[in-house]
Structure 1
Amino acid sequence: MSVRVSLVAAARSSAPLAERFGDDRPLDHAGWREIQFAAHALVPLGAAELRYCSPTPRSRATGDALGFAPLSQPALRDCDMGRWSGLTLAEAAAHDPAAVNTWLGDPRTAPHGGESLLAFIFRVGGWLDTRPLQDGSVVAVAEPGVVRAALVYALGAPPSAYWHVDVRPLSVTTITGLPGRWHLSVEALPG
């Protein structure tokens, strides 16, 4: 018996260079268009026994547009960035470059006053390990950072691996297994 967890990265709410920590903007026009193009491949994931989403507007809208009717899951919220919420990485670095360097280099620190990278990874991993299914499938729409955190946790990779994983909007990452025994499953989406 194993659980299949498909993590769908939410569609865009801003251009990549305009992404802000704690961004809760709704989907932008490009995000809606991306959903239209990808829906044929993603809609079948809605057959999962359990369907969740991050509490952000863009995750909810992505899940609803794909017909998932997901339940909002607070554990799937993005990393709490404290004082840096609302800033881009470049803006945070311009205000306090030493703090940004510390944060990027040590996963146990939270110079922004929010959540450390390590705490974030373990929060998301805790959600992954407590899925109520013994056998079956789960789909969750979440922010790209949440997908990266889940992948780092599932693979038992060092926290620094978080910075080396790119998660594109509407990409699907599938993890199979049981708590403490997760495996990455790479599959091609149909046509």
Structure 2
Amino acid sequence: MSVRVSLVASARSSAVLAERFEDDRPLDGAGWRAVERAARALVPLGAAELRYCSPSARSRATGEALGYAPLAQPALRDCDMGHWRGLTLAEVTARDPGAVDLWLAEPRSAPHGGESLLSFITRIGGWLDTRPAGDGGAIVAVAEPSVVRAALVYALQAPPLTYWNVDVHPLSTVTLTGWSGRWHLSLPESAQIA
């Protein structure tokens, strides 16, 4: 018995260079337009038996715009960034480059006073592992790209620092199949080459 969990990265709420740690701003104009363009491909995921989202404004808005009517899951919140919350990476680096270096190099560190990368990945993995496994059941969850990255690292049992090597773009999707502790990455089928 397994379950299929499709993770949808929420649409953007700001330009990449303006992204802030634990940013809870709503979707920006570009984010809304991107949801409209992606809807045709993403709306069918809403047929899943269970539909969830991160509690952030942009994840809730993305899920609602796609017609999922998702249930907010506190466990799918972004990483707790402590006193870095609301700052950009550039701002934090300018203030305390040593703390940023430590954070990027040591997954157990939390120089910001919040949640370590390892704790974040473990929390997201705990959410995955508690999804009800039925006979081919389907779940869709809209969450921040960072949450999708953490889920991938957990599911693939990759070293925590792999997190920094995974790019998840807004409105991209990843599907994991399996059950508690036994997850597999399912890539979409591609067109056959003649």
Could you tell me which residue of structure 2 aligns to residue 13 of structure 1?
13
Shift of 1:189: 8.6
Q: Secondary structure in 1 aligned to 2:183?
A: strand
Number of matched pairs? 190
1-side partners of 2:134 and 2:123: how far apart?
20
Could you tell me which residue of structure 2 aligns to residue 123 of structure 1?
123
2-side partners of 1:120 and 1:187: how far apart?
27
C-alpha RMSD of the superposition: 1.1
Q: How does 1:100-111 map to 2 (within 5 A)?
A: 100-111=100-111
Aligned sequence identity (%): 75
- Say whether the 8 Å CA contact 1:41–1:189 is kept in structure 2: no
Shift of 1:2: 1.1
Could you tell me which residue of structure 1 aligns to residue 55 of structure 2?
55
Q: How does 1:1-191 map to 2 (within 5 A)?
A: 1-135=1-135, 136-188=137-189
With over 3 angstroms needed to count, the CA separation of the structure-2 counterparts of 1:39 and 1:47, relative to structure 1, is same
Q: What runs of 5+ residues in structure 2 fail to find an aligned partner?
A: none
- Say whether the 8 Å CA contact 1:62–1:141 is kept in structure 2: yes
Aligned residue identity for 1:158: P
State the TM-score, normalizing by the size of structure 2.
Answer: 0.96
Aligned residue identity for 2:12: R
State the TM-score, normalizing by the size of structure 1.
Answer: 0.97
1-side partners of 2:155 and 2:15: how far apart?
29
2-side partners of 1:182 and 1:176: how far apart?
6
